Amino acid sequence: MNVQAPLLARDAARPKAKFRPPAVHQVRVEGFFGPRIDAIAATTAHTLLDRCIAAGMLDQVDPDRPNPGLKIPFQTGNDTVTTQMFWDSDFGKSIETAAYALSRKPDPALEARVDEVVEAYGRLQDENGYLNSWYQRIEPGRRWTNLRDCHELYDAGHMMEGAVAYFHATGKRRLLDIMAGYADHIASVFGPGEGQKRGYCGHPEIELALVRLARATGERRYLDLARFFVDERGAAPHYFDEEARARGRDPQDYHFEDHRYTQSHEPVRAQRHVVGHAVRAAYLYSGMADVSTEYGDETLKPALEALWGHLTEKNLYVTGGFGPSAHNEGLTFDYDLPNETAYAETCAAVALVFWANRMLGLGPDRAYGDVMERALYNGALVGLSLDGTRFFYDNPLESRGAHHRWRWHRCPCCPPNIARLVASVGTYAYGEAEREIAVHLYCEGVADLETAGTKVRIRQETRYPFEGRVALTVEPEAPADWTLSLRLPGWSSAIAVSVNGEAVEVGAHEEKGYLRLTRRWAAGDRVELDIDMPVERLHARPEIGADQGRVALQRGPLVYCLEEADNGAHLNSVLLTPESAFRCEEASDLGGATVLVTQGLREIGADGAALYAPTAPMREAASLRAVPYYAWDNRAEGEMLVWVRQEGAR
């Protein structure tokens, strides 16, 4: 049962919004993502609940179960985990994933499992609405005393997102009402009023979640609370310092050195550089973009645009991942983009997709659409195995053979995060405005949208991202004048477009990298795009020392890598030549993915040669096979390399 958002959420809670993404149930995705969503619906959604419960999460939540205490270890495959303060967030994301799975296909067993968890939360909730299993079951009496280091509001945000998704998927209001009650309690505790706390979470997330809750319920006060959290962050006197003193601690006694880690080092409108923990940063910027869109708040745009530029121009991996350091799970200094030690957490790439999508709420702009696509197809999608059962937490761009997917993780934030993103990918493909529909991503499927007071169905037929031909059939309920905006990917220099068989002069209708077609649309109108997909050899800026003399291979939105399974070991002994020509092949062992095959060279050390010698190694011809980065480590274990040496490269 798919439930439309209430009319109130579309009107009263929409002060000045420009473009909004459709709900998941409005878009039926097939093609490239279809099998992946099917795998999540059939397998991953159950796997997430299995492993959450095996880790003891339901024991921590349910007041009818014995109190789990502070330290109980659970063995979950690769690692032993203990009770954790952010477990509610993992349940929230797992519920959200299950909701999208139920939107894909009915599954009474899965629905019953979610209902069991929801009822446990219902029993746990205080009369005043407060709901956090850690502070109710593990450390009672300490709620709202350490927002800097702990995760109360972050947990609440993910539970809110799960509640909204589950309501849309099933029509059941139980969890939505529980979380609305908690949001009301939070609004009574935090705010500018007398006796209220002027705090915010050390781990941003609730800001964007409150916007989703407002859209689902139509309650403007949740938007106002999101705006409060955004506006208050970094204000003087610094809340985290005052909070530390209140609990008898020195504010300088801080594991991560200063407030840049939580992006609270200065008010958000003054921020110009992406700093600190990568996931927290992108979640915060997502919330800022949502607030800017919903309120038409132009004062947030200079900061958002500067932060975007700083990330994408100086700190973004070619895969769309970011945050090179394991120490702070985040940023270090500009152009610090090592390959073998890259952290590039899956959650960071997922959060970048969220941020990019929300920047598109301000209007179609290829600067955001292209990065959203890069992060989605590469840095995020790599976090989920092809069968939907194993996961990556960190994502290096080079491995000597020791980096492999996890069955679970001691910090299990990434598995449900990538699962909920992929299962809801249809909502990132489109944007709806009053007289415009934007198409941000190309994928086989059907979308039921609305613009100019008319319901519009758009059908996409394509084998994208493996082929660049896309056909869109527009089916409005009645003829109407509006604009269809289509992203023109920046990685392609040759794009041909026709409408009903007549060629369109792309340059005459392009604006910020989108083709804007304004006309009276009628049922059966057909737009066809032919997007050239050459194999590109990307070169890094000279400031990125690790990549000099090397190239990264990209075709369409996909970044490629070499694996030992195809090319043998010692991948750094392989070279491309300027003459290496690529052909595309379909790989049955990788779900039908397009792989790249070419001829290159391999350097060979002579038997008995010294470790260092004045003569160059011998070379021999070598057949090379590159696979999409998202698909690596799905077959035999071994080495992996994204940046490949190239003869003659600078």
Q: Which residues are catalytic?
A: 329, 413
Report the C-alpha gap between 439 and 23 in whole angstroms: 15
- Give the contacts of 145 (CB within 8 A, at least 6 positions apart): 243, 246, 247
Burial code of 415-445, b = ≥16 C-beta within 10 A, e = fewer? bbbbbbbbbbbbbbbbbbbeebbbbbbbbbb
Report the C-alpha gap between 157 and 637 in whole angstroms: 37
* Lateral strand order in the sheet of 510-511: 430-433, 436-439, 480-487, 514-521, 510-511
Report the C-alpha gap between 415 and 47 in whole angstroms: 10
Tokens 């350097």 -> residue: 603
145 DSSP assignment: S
Report the C-alpha gap between 13 and 207 in whole angstroms: 15
Using alpha carbons, select from 558, 510, 550 the residue that is nearest to residue 533: 558
150 DSSP assignment: S
Using alpha carbons, select from 369, 358, 366, 359 the residue that is nearest to residue 511: 366
Report the C-alpha gap between 577 and 649 in whole angstroms: 9
Tokens 């959290």 -> residue: 229
Using alpha carbons, select from 601, 604, 540 the residue that is nearest to residue 576: 601
Question: What angle is formed at CA 455 by the lines to CA 451 and CA 461, rounded to 5 degrees?
Answer: 95
Report the C-alpha gap between 461 and 471 in whole angstroms: 5
- Packed helices 206-217 and 152-170: angle between N→C axes, nearest 10 degrees: 30
Report the C-alpha gap between 416 and 194 in whole angstroms: 39
Containing 422, the helix (H) or strand (E) segment is helix 414-423
493 DSSP assignment: S
